[in-house]
Chains A and B, each alone.
Chain A
């Protein structure tokens, strides 16, 4: 194959070459890319799909390929299910460098191998130059619940809110790269399948990975869904110094920066110690950040700071923009 993707990779001989190229790089993970679809041979009860676009495609701690696998895997894990299969749809822009594509497909393969996860079926398309921004990946993950699926509807006032680790690493890493800052931290992009262990052991109500919009967005969505206020202690949030610096320079709040390997866990308050201990043993850096308060007419997330002042942590209205001065 030549060094770049062209529109001719959409059909005929070139398409066959492209598919062969992908299959070679996903050799151990592909179940079927010969047929138009795959056959599910195991029972599944959870499914989640997501599309991935990101610039830059390669970032400290990951790339769009790793993100596309872990993103859908985490969505299934957050429902308390073990990932079993995945589908992969690739849309490429004409002119996309083959070398970058090879790195991305290899990264997908590497992540799939780590997770012992197979591709059930896939698809590729090439679009005219300028139609999309380089590459778009869509993954759909199928999973089998380790217990009854987790749901926001399980949440009750008094439940504990636990974070599995520091916040904002992914968002800050991407923003830093875009702005050309040198930073000594990387994205937390990773699969959270090990969290299924605590789902098996404890009365977990629900879990959410704090992706786009960060922890603030997730908490707000849950407050609205449950109709309950959620109170968070600002001092208990783990924020790495590098993330704080990037956020400070750009004038953005780390609570709104995306995480790709940190989840918010809601559990029965009696289980909170056990959950914290288990997460610690598994190598996470958990923190007990707050609890679910009573039902409210206007459900809100309240952030309590070190001066004892409680303020509303609002939902993000739109994309974060850096401040001017």
Chain B
């Protein structure tokens, strides 16, 4: 029993990146096999959603989005390629930047492709509040926002799941607190550790994880207690509750997961891109790359037949190689 190498999943792209950067995957190789989970918002964006954004480009709609999404391939190219061909696609860092643009150009119609998890969702909530306040009428929200706990539940419910413990995303936990993870830990009887992002914080979290695994301890240990409070961030949670309700959402490679999305509440349907462009519902496409297997922790990036050959950061086939938080990208970047 002592010699067992435990399989631990980090459910956060930034953790994946940091673990590789600090070489900690190697350091813990004999004790724990650290595999990457679906914790990167870019990586879990489905091909259908990219195709919908490409469709909007073709309709002359301006698209605002975060950087890495520009590079994710849809069925017929990427948003970046569309931009090179003349589409109005704009990269933003802070969603609030958009308001001023739209105010200056009242005849332009724009859609903000809001991707992200619980960490980013409050920012989008702030944008919605600002749209209301400012009276801007030409900006619509296409919410691709996702919730992490239902995705963890879906992964752990898989009968083939071999994951022994979970390294929980510190940033998400800052917003939602410890409670959702406690419920999951108890349901699946596995140890969960909420981890920070510095080398020291990660080592602390990994040591705790190993101790819990070897002693058979079930529950949630908050190793990021300096930032993560038990109740999370009441302010952020209040904003989420005001503007969003949960909905089923499509995750790349994981298909549709119940209640895993943040959908705009009915009161805000006037700015919902899906209401404005109902044709988007009709666009569906299939993810062809094996990113889904990587996201489930069932396929190591280096074991993917495309890895480093036809799929590399210059020519990514799938989002796990696109995103700076993607597991394939991290493995490619930090290979020794």
A321-B68, A323-B325, A325-B117 known; A309 and B93 CB under 8 Å? no
B94 contacts chain A at the CB level, 8 A cutoff:
yes
User: In angstroms, how far is the closest chain A Cβ from the Cβ of B252?
Assistant: 15
Are A251 and B23 neighbours in the complex by a CB distance under 8 Å? no
User: In angstroms, how far is the closest chain B Cβ from the Cβ of A296?
Assistant: 13
Chain B, range 150-166, C-beta contacts under 8 Å to A: none
Please encode chain B, from 59 to 76, with 1 for each CB lying within 8 Å of some chain A CB and 0 for all others: 000000011101000000
Q: Which of B17, B22, B66 is within 8 Å of A324, CB to CB?
A: B66
Are B14 and A325 neighbours in the complex by a CB distance under 8 Å? yes
Provide the residues of chain B in CB contact with A317, threshold 8 Å: 313-314
A13 contacts chain B at the CB level, 8 A cutoff:
no
A309 to B199 alpha-carbon distance, docked (Å): 13
Please encode chain A, from 170 to 198, with 1 for each CB lying within 8 Å of some chain B CB and 0 for all others: 00000000111000000000000000000
A309 to B336 alpha-carbon distance, docked (Å): 10
Are B27 and A323 neighbours in the complex by a CB distance under 8 Å? no
When C-beta atoms are compared, the residue in chain B nearest to A317 turns out to be B313
Contact residues on B (Cβ < 8 Å of other chain), bracket: 35 or more
A317 to B172 alpha-carbon distance, docked (Å): 29
Are B336 and A310 neighbours in the complex by a CB distance under 8 Å? yes
When C-beta atoms are compared, the residue in chain A nearest to B322 turns out to be A321
Q: Which of A179, A310, A324 is within 8 Å of B42, CB to CB?
A: A324
B26 contacts chain A at the CB level, 8 A cutoff:
yes
B334 contacts chain A at the CB level, 8 A cutoff:
yes
User: In angstroms, how far is the closest chain B Cβ from the Cβ of A307?
Assistant: 6
A305 contacts chain B at the CB level, 8 A cutoff:
yes
User: In angstroms, how far is the closest chain A Cβ from the Cβ of B283?
Assistant: 23
Provide the residues of chain B in CB contact with A297, threshold 8 Å: none
User: In angstroms, how far is the closest chain A Cβ from the Cβ of B19?
Assistant: 11
Name the residue among A179, A251, A310, A311 with the largest chain B CB count within 10 angstroms. Answer: A311
Chain B, range 166-214, C-beta contacts under 8 Å to A: 171-172, 199
Provide the residues of chain A in CB contact with B116, threshold 8 Å: 324-325
Please encode chain A, from 309 to 325, with 1 for each CB lying within 8 Å of some chain B CB and 0 for all others: 11110100110011111
Are B23 and A324 neighbours in the complex by a CB distance under 8 Å? no
Provide the residues of chain A in CB contact with B115, threshold 8 Å: 324
A179-B93, A251-B14, A305-B23 known; A312 and B334 CB under 8 Å? yes
Q: Secondary structure at chain A's binding surface: helix, strand, loop or mixed?
A: loop
Please encode chain B, from 64 to 96, with 1 for each CB lying within 8 Å of some chain A CB and 0 for all others: 001110100000000000000000000101100
When C-beta atoms are compared, the residue in chain A nearest to B325 turns out to be A323
A323 to B334 alpha-carbon distance, docked (Å): 17
Are A309 and B23 neighbours in the complex by a CB distance under 8 Å? yes
Q: Which of B13, B93, B313, B314 is within 8 Å of A322, CB to CB?
A: B93
A307-B199, A324-B42 known; A312 and B314 CB under 8 Å? no
User: In angstroms, how far is the closest chain A Cβ from the Cβ of B93?
Assistant: 5
Provide the residues of chain B in CB contact with A324, threshold 8 Å: 41-42, 66-68, 115-116, 120, 325
Chain A, range 179-221, C-beta contacts under 8 Å to B: 179-180
Are B324 and A251 neighbours in the complex by a CB distance under 8 Å? yes
Provide the residues of chain B in CB contact with A311, threshold 8 Å: 20-21, 23, 334-336
Please encode chain A, from 215 to 251, with 1 for each CB lying within 8 Å of some chain B CB and 0 for all others: 0000000000000000000000000000000000011
Provide the residues of chain A in CB contact with B17, threshold 8 Å: 251
Q: Which of B22, B66, B94 is within 8 Å of A307, CB to CB?
A: B22
A309 to B22 alpha-carbon distance, docked (Å): 8
When C-beta atoms are compared, the residue in chain A nearest to B118 turns out to be A325
A80 to B41 alpha-carbon distance, docked (Å): 48
Please encode chain B, from 314 to 336, with 1 for each CB lying within 8 Å of some chain A CB and 0 for all others: 10000000001100000011111
When C-beta atoms are compared, the residue in chain A nearest to B115 turns out to be A324
B119 contacts chain A at the CB level, 8 A cutoff:
yes
Provide the residues of chain A in CB contact with B26, threshold 8 Å: 309
A178 to B20 alpha-carbon distance, docked (Å): 29
A251 to B314 alpha-carbon distance, docked (Å): 19
User: In angstroms, how far is the closest chain B Cβ from the Cβ of A298?
Assistant: 11
User: In angstroms, how far is the closest chain A Cβ from the Cβ of B329?
Assistant: 9
When C-beta atoms are compared, the residue in chain B nearest to A316 turns out to be B313
Chain B, range 287-326, C-beta contacts under 8 Å to A: 313-314, 324-325
A314 to B119 alpha-carbon distance, docked (Å): 29
A309 to B23 alpha-carbon distance, docked (Å): 6
Q: Which of B22, B199, B324, B336 is within 8 Å of A323, CB to CB?
A: B324
Name the residue among B13, B23, B27, B41 with the largest chain A CB count within 10 angstroms. Answer: B23
When C-beta atoms are compared, the residue in chain A nearest to B96 turns out to be A180
User: In angstroms, how far is the closest chain B Cβ from the Cβ of A151?
Assistant: 29
Provide the residues of chain A in CB contact with B24, threshold 8 Å: 307
Query: Beyond A250-B93, A309-B26, A321-B91: 13 further Cβ-contacts under 8 Å?
Result: A179-B93, A251-B17, A307-B22, A311-B335, A311-B336, A317-B313, A318-B313, A318-B314, A321-B67, A324-B41, A324-B325, A325-B116, A325-B171
Q: Which residues on B are within 8 Å of A, measured CB to CB?
A: 13-14, 17, 20-24, 26-27, 41-42, 66-68, 70, 91, 93-94, 115-117, 119-120, 171-172, 199, 313-314, 324-325, 332-336
> Can you sample 10 A-B contacts with CB below 8 Å?
A179-B94, A180-B94, A251-B324, A305-B23, A314-B333, A317-B314, A318-B313, A321-B324, A322-B66, A324-B120
Q: Which residues on A are within 8 Å of B, measured CB to CB?
A: 178-180, 250-251, 305-307, 309-312, 314, 317-318, 321-325
